[in-house]
Structure 1
Amino acid sequence: MPFISKIERQSDYHLFPSTTPIVIDNGASYFRIGWAGETEPRVIFRNIVQRPRHKATGETVTIVGDHDPALLRYFDCTRSGPRSAFDSNVVYQFEIMEYILDFAFDRLGANGSRIDHPVLITECACNPVQSRSKMAELLFETYGVPSVAFGVDAAFSYKYNQQLGVCGKDGLALCPGFTTTHVIPFIDGEPVYKGSCRTNIGGYHITDYLKQLLLLKYPHHMARFTWEKVEDLKMEHCYIAQDYFSEVRLFQKGDKEAEDKTRCWQLPWIPPPTEEPPSEEEIARKAAIKERQGQRLREMAEAKRSSRINELENELHGLEFLLQQLEHVEEHNIPSFLSETGYVSKQEIESAVQKVTQSLRKAKGEPKGDQVEAEEKTDPATNERFPLINIPDNMLTPEQLKEKRRQLFLKTTSEGRQRAKQKRFESELERERKNQQDEEKRLENPELYLEQLRAKYKDLSEKVEQRKRLKTNGNHTNGNNFSGGVGRGERLNAAQRERMRLLTTAAFDRGKGEDTFGARDEDWQLYKLMSKDNDDDDEGPDQDEAEMARLSLRLQELDPTFVPKSEIVTSQPVEVPRLRPLTKEDFQILLGVERFRCPEILFRPNWIAVDQAGLDEMTGVSIRRLSPVGQEVEERLTNSIFITGGSCLYPGMSKRLVAGIRMIRPCGSPIRVVKASDPVLDAWRGAAAYATAPQFLTQTFSRTDYYEKGEDWLRRYQLRYTL
């Protein structure tokens, strides 16, 4: 399967003899490979593997280590994220480890899958035998390596700096790595693993903690905080505080010193184009355009109204002419004459004349005329339909009295229908007149008309809300315009209070003696008073709500952005749209407390729910595990505390360790903390220098030994670092 990488392939692999060892620093973060005796590794890449599919061909491609992010747009990475062969600091995914070794040997320049050079590979302290056995099996079976040696990376770094005079033969090696932190004591130049200890805290946890803090602080810039970028921010800006709580109080005060320690990361930002205010000529030009548009709309409306009036007048003249012709037609010829006109009877033509006349008056905006008054007059056939109405009761028989009551009921019902019809007609005319006036006002000045509509709608809505609030809480206020809790009586309107008064009075009058309510006809008048339509107070709210609904519909027609009050959810806060334009400060990431809060977990792992010892406590644990070694040996150990690994590069690490270790050691104990010359590459350089020694081959085991002795021999295998 093809590899994707921007690392160039070495071309001098065949120039090295087969006796030259290949040195591999197999770290959880980075993989380094090179030749023994050199000062720099040939190939360095991240120790991860990703296997996405190509979007076009569907082919699975292996991406090892660093790659060009621009290539990922051609691949589907949703189902295959970056994977590591490590669990903490132990290799357990050897399928991924095989991809990494394939890529490493290929970049080193090896042709084919067979490696004819001895291999020195690093591992963690106290590596499990199962992991070491699987790694030996992979190297022997897959690559045909002639011999293999395993060594601890922190021990190689310690021995390399010991040769440089940085640390002594006796000391403590602190190695805060990518996922774990180790402390290994050295006595007479050799590591004593029974005194070593480990904490599952490293650079990975610091980066993850910093990423979480930034995502909580700047959630709108979530896509910017990639793992690689947060790793760069950590290595560039984080430091170790000498006293964490004093440093926090310093940032709480927010004085000049805190501002000096705050770092700013400016994200890409393009300022919006500045818009100049329109000139007076532009304003006048736009006003003239609006005026012309309004005049054109008024002319169009007037032309439409005139056309409608002409059509109705022509239709009315035609119907009147038809009625005039119908008067001169003989009665037996009327059906044949009407069949040609499309009407059935003369009454239908008169009804059509009446409808056209009403439509014409509506179009002209005229008030009700003789036609409406004629409808109010009593039908001439009324007397014929109800002959008993005007006859006195003493002149009628009992059967005729029943018929007279029925005729009175029918006449009253008919007149009620007529009055309701007349009322509807008048309200329709009034509505048409108001609409006509509103349209004329709108055409004269659309902006002023819309503003007046909004103001009227606002006043009505406030009035209705106030009435509802008073109806719910009562008409009593506490002087601050806040409604207070009152009795039910104050929440009733006038009609309801009148009904309650009548009931209370009747009950009081009848409660003194025997209950004889209903024995007299006058008692039943109380129900008439109670059921009387005297809810005058309720007519106002109904009219206001109807007018509010009319204004709402009108505003929705004229203003698309208008939202009625009923559609606004009052139980949830309405999100106010961002009106302020984004500025340069909105794209700045400020690193203040996060600079020292994230590396602090190396000393306080319980902050991220890891119940283990910190860096300073681990030295005391390691020394106690060595006891009894004598006070002189303990002083030599604390006098050469060596720190290596990528996580010891934070400023202030050495001083913080000195202060922390001094608190757990006896008073007067010599404490000296030294840092590796290159904490990142010294492990590989120490291994490369160790592999050049003539006695190196005596510390390896061959493929033949592996086949003969097997895994049990690997259990007893121990590398000596002093040759």
Structure 2
Amino acid sequence: MPFISKIQRQSDYSAFPSRHPIVIDNGGSYFRIGWAGESDPRVIFRNIIQRPRHKITGETITVVGDHNPALLKYFDCTRTGPRSAFDNNVVYQFEIMEYILDFGFDRLGADQSQIDHPVLITECACNPVQSRSKMAELLFESYGVPSVAFGVDAAFSYKYNQQLGICNNDGLAMCSGFNTTHVIPFINGEPVYEACKRTNVGGYHVTDYLKQLLSLKYPHHISKLTWEKVEDLKMEHCYIATDYESEVQLFQKGDKEAEEKIRCWQLPWTPSLSEETTPSEEEIARKAALKEKQGQRLREMAEAKRFNRINDLENEIRDSEILLQRLRHAEEDDIPSILAKTKYTSKLEVESAIAKATQSLRKAKGEPVESVEKTDPSATEKYNLINVPDEALTPEQLKQKRKQLFIKSTSEARQQKKQKQLEEELERERQKKLEEEKRQENPEQYLEDLRAKHRDLSEKVDQRKRLKTNGGHTNGNNNSSGGVGRGERLNSSQRERMRLLTTAAFDRGKGEDTFGMKDEDWQLYKLMSRDNDDDDDDDHPDLDEAELARVTSRLREIDPTFIFKAESGTSTAEAPRFRPLTKEDFQIMLGVERFRCPEILFHPSLIGIEQLGLDEMAGKSIQGLLDKGRASEERITNSILLTGGSCLFPGLSERLEAGIRMIRPSGTPIRIIKASNPIFDAWRGAAAYAAAMQFPQQTFSKMDYYEKGEDWLKGYQLRKGVRVWFGTFNTAEEAVRAYDTEVRRIRGKKAKVNFPEDTPVSASKHASKVNPCERLPKESSDYVQPSVNQNDFHEHDGQ
């Protein structure tokens, strides 16, 4: 299956020996892979896949990580969305995980599916044994990895920062990741997983909550609110409020301080013509000349197309007439052979084609089109009984004759209606052309005449509607709104209908009934019908209203100062006029959303998750260490490390300190510190651990997995007492001398060192650049915990 990626493939894979470990930080959001002992991962990409189909061939491809928007031109990405291998930070879709690992190893530079390097891969705290077993099986069976080790990402990050001197030996690691948040206490430098706490809220939920709020607030810009853009808005503008309720009240007041905290995202926007500055006379003249030039070019193209069309029709008519002459002078037996070489099947079909081409030719030349009845080749057979006398037909044939007469009359009526519509269309085009000529000759007079016509038509239509509503009289009351009875509310047609109904009911059964003797009597039913209530014997009102609508539309086009106001007496309301869109309509304002969305880290109930927040998790985790004593609890609260991507929100440390102080005894020392790099520290700690000399002892091979079984993985974890030596040096001598310095500081004169203090650097025999962890003295079992920063070790570089 082909891969598509913009990530550069590494080229130095073969330069690393087979015993050099590969380190993988398998995070819920990003996948990081690199080599042990290095400071940064080699390859980083989103831990998702997408499988779109090619729009032409239908072939399915695999897109790992963020896809390029240019793919939408060739691939259909709408039927499938991004898919992750995680469910609440636990790997459960190992088919997707295999795609991720394939891509990661390929970008790292592996040329074949066999990976002959040990692998250290991170996992979540208290990972289920089934997930760990499936991951080990995948690495052993699919990639042939010689050995595997698992470790918790939060523990690696804490140990890394501990060696840098940021956090203490006893402390609390608070890792807020993409899907979940974990709190792990550390005692004597070792994690206590029995007191670990977890909540299913992370950066994903914050982004999703922000996307929902903005989509509800700006539904007309929902297409612009993509996941990637909302993620960027979250990282750039969201923060943690020190006091959530006070912050909400501040925005409710809407004072100046709240306005200063509002952020604006301006979407792409093009101003309308009405909002642009008034162009100069030169610009107007230039645009007019350009428009005239374009119009002339279009007219020339249309004229050329019309000329070619006329030539084609004339040639077609000439050829068809020649063919028709040949058919008329040919014998009946020769006609099929003549027609075999053409597209026609009979003489009638040729005549019909000539008639159609003649009509098209007259229309192309602009001549009036005559109503020509379509010649149906089978007309004689279709209407064979029309010209036969009734005396010569049987009763069944008479029925058939009446049917043929009805069909023929209907067809002729359709032709006449079509011809009438065509003539009306030509007349409208002619009137429109004449009107445009008048406007170009004298625009001011044309506009004045159009306004006068609009005024006269408006008065005429309004007067007719008032007469129709009031019936032409007010019963002696000049106030038309004074009548409140039903008779005052009826129009003239409705009152006439009521009079006829009353008269018919009153005259029923009186005298001789002569109704129906005259044909006019039957019109009474039409007048008494409800369908006649709103009808008028005169058709001019409809024509006047149509003409008024046309004049109104024309005035709106050419007169920018024209405003049509519907009279109060009109029954039809004017359609609402929408204002042009402005710059403010394309702005997305971030106000309370800036701190409302990250607040779910402390109150997951805001999104319907009834679990603990960060401060409550820390308190519950410390309560799980009751047997450690009060002094141990104070040491833990004095070193709380924040790590993970969701710990980058501003104000998180202050809010967490205030929350923990409320649940801890008075006077408890609380120190909250942020990791040196909350995103990369987990991988860096794992890379430093894998570079240690004791790392091979912490891995398990494929043989161990099959011999000890899946149950053995339940108790597997990185064993205590294994310490990590941090630092990157150019030569092995520099690494060993740094080791000697720490041993002298810890053990004094009893320390076993490799170089005496008075030995100069030039006397060293180790001058080659190698992994410093490989040259450390193997016989030493001293526990070395440097108290200097990693930058201090780098000061030896280049000496």
TM range (shorter): 0.5 to 0.7
Secondary structure of the residue aligned to 2:649 is coil
Find the residue that maps to 1:674 and give its secondary structure: strand
- Please tell me whether the aligned partners of residues 53 and 77 of structure 1 are also in contact (alpha carbons under 8 angstroms): yes
State the match for 1:684 in structure 2: 683
Aligned to 1:106, the other structure's residue is in SS state helix
**Alpha-carbon separation, structure 1, partners of 2:573 and 2:170:** 68
- Corresponding residue SS for 1:117: coil
Equivalent positions of 1:10-25 (< 5 A) are 10-25=10-25
Q: In structure 1, what residue type is equivalent to 2:458?
A: K
2:53 is the alignment partner of 1:53: yes
Question: Any residues of structure 2 matched to 1:6-45 within 5 Å, and which?
Answer: 6-45=6-45
Map of 1:428-447 to 2, 5 A cutoff? 447=447
> How far, CA to CA, are the matches of 1:560 and 1:571 in structure 2?
19
Helix, strand or coil: the match of 1:172? strand
Question: Structure 2: how far apart are the matches of 1:13 and 1:546?
Answer: 90
Partner of 1:298: none
- Say whether the 8 Å CA contact 1:116–1:145 is kept in structure 2: yes
The equivalent of 2:256 in structure 1 is 256
| Secondary structure of 1:694 counterpart | coil
What residue in structure 2 maps to residue 675 of structure 1? 674
**Would the aligned equivalents of 2:469 and 2:490 in 1 still touch at CA under 8 Å?**
no
The 1-side partners of 2:40 and 2:90 are apart by: 25
Distance 1:573 1:189 in 2: 79
8 Å contact 2:21–2:119 — kept in the other structure?
Answer: yes
Contact 1:556 1:562 in 2 (8 A): no
**TM-fit CA distance, 1:74:** 1.8
Query: CA 1:540 to 1:204, structure 2 compared with 1: closer, same or farther past 3 Å?
Result: closer
Question: What does 1:167-566 correspond to in 2, within 5 Å?
Answer: 167-271=167-271, 274-276=277-279, 447-463=447-463, 486-488=484-486, 490-491=488-489, 546-555=539-548
Aligned to 1:297: none
Q: Report the residue type matching 2:227 in the other structure.
A: W
Query: For residues 557 and 573 of structure 1, do their structure 2 counterparts lie closer, same or farther at Cα, with a shift above 3 Å needed?
Result: closer
Partner SS, residue 59 of structure 2: coil
Q: Which amino acid aligns with 1:176?
A: S
The residue that corresponds to 1:421 in the other structure is none
Letter in 1 for 2:587: Q
In 2, the alpha carbon distance for the partners of 1:238 and 1:28 equals 21
The letter of the residue matching 2:634 is E
CA contact (8 A) 1:464 1:544 kept: no
1:706 aligned to 2:705? Answer: yes
Q: Displacement of 1:576 after TM fit?
A: 3.1
* 1:66 matched to 2:59: no
Cα RMSD, aligned residues only:
4.4
Aligned partners of 2:571 and 2:259: how far apart in 1? 42
Q: 1:541 to 1:590 in 2, by over 3 A?
A: closer
> What's 1:351 paired with?
none
Structure 1 unmatched ranges of 5 or more: 287-437, 508-516, 520-530
Letter in 1 for 2:101: L
Aligned in 2, Cα 1:450/1:545: closer, same or farther, shift over 3 Å? farther
Instruction: Point out which structure has higher relative CO (alpha carbons under 8 A, 6+ apart).
Output: 1
- Which shifted more, 442-451 or 97-106? 442-451
Asked if 1:717 is matched to 2:716, the reply is yes
> In the alignment, is the contact (CA less than 8 A) between 1:52 and 1:75 conserved in 2?
yes
Alignment partners' CA distance in 2, 1:476 and 1:648: 84
Q: Distance in 2 between matches of 1:135 and 1:476?
A: 97
Equivalent residues in 2 for 1:73-88, closer than 5 Å = 73-88=73-88
Cα distance in 2 for residues equivalent to 1:66 and 1:696: 34
Contact 2:461 2:544 in 1 (8 A): no
Contact 2:468/2:491 (<8 A) preserved: no
**Superposed displacement of residue 129, structure 1:** 0.8
% of aligned pairs identical? Answer: 65
Which amino acid in the other structure matches residue 644 of structure 1? T
- Per-residue deviation, residues 513-572 of structure 1 (Å, max 9, x unmatched): xxxx989xxxxxxxxxxx9xxx9xxx9997797542231243467676699999xxx999
The SS at the match of 2:32 is strand
Partner of 2:621: 622
Name the SS for the 2:222 alignment partner: helix
Structure 2 Cα separation of the partners of residues 476 and 623 of structure 1? 94
Q: 1:551 to 1:466 in 2, by over 3 A?
A: closer
Larger Rg: 1
Give the direction of change, closer, same or farther, for the CA distance of 1:573–1:447 in structure 2 (3 Å limit).
Answer: closer
Return the letter of the residue paired with 2:195: G
Q: By how many angstroms is 1:573 displaced?
A: 8.9
Could you tell me how far apart the structure 2 residues matched to 1:571 and 1:633 are? 84
Contact 2:241–2:651, Cα closer than 8 Å, also in 1: yes
* Structure 2 unmatched runs, 5+: 290-430, 512-523, 557-563, 723-799
Q: TM-score, normalised by structure 1?
A: 0.66
Pairwise CA distance, 1:468: 7.0
Corresponding residue number in structure 2 for 1:403: none
SS at match of 1:259: helix
Structure 2 distance, partners of 1:464, 1:542, is: 13
- The worse-fitting range, judged by mean Cα deviation, of 268-277 and 89-98 is 268-277
Q: Distance in 1 between matches of 2:476 and 2:621?
A: 78
CA shift for structure 1 position 703: 0.9
CA 1:454–1:131 in 2, change beyond 3 Å: closer, same or farther?
A: same
Provide the secondary structure at the position in 1 that maps to 2:694: helix
TM-score normalised according to structure 2 size: 0.60
How far 1:262 moved relative to its partner? 2.0
1:512-661 correspondence runs (5 A): 546-555=539-548, 576-580=576-580, 582-661=581-660
Residue 115 of structure 2 is aligned to residue 115 of structure 1: yes
User: What is the CA distance between 1:249 and its match in structure 2?
Assistant: 2.5
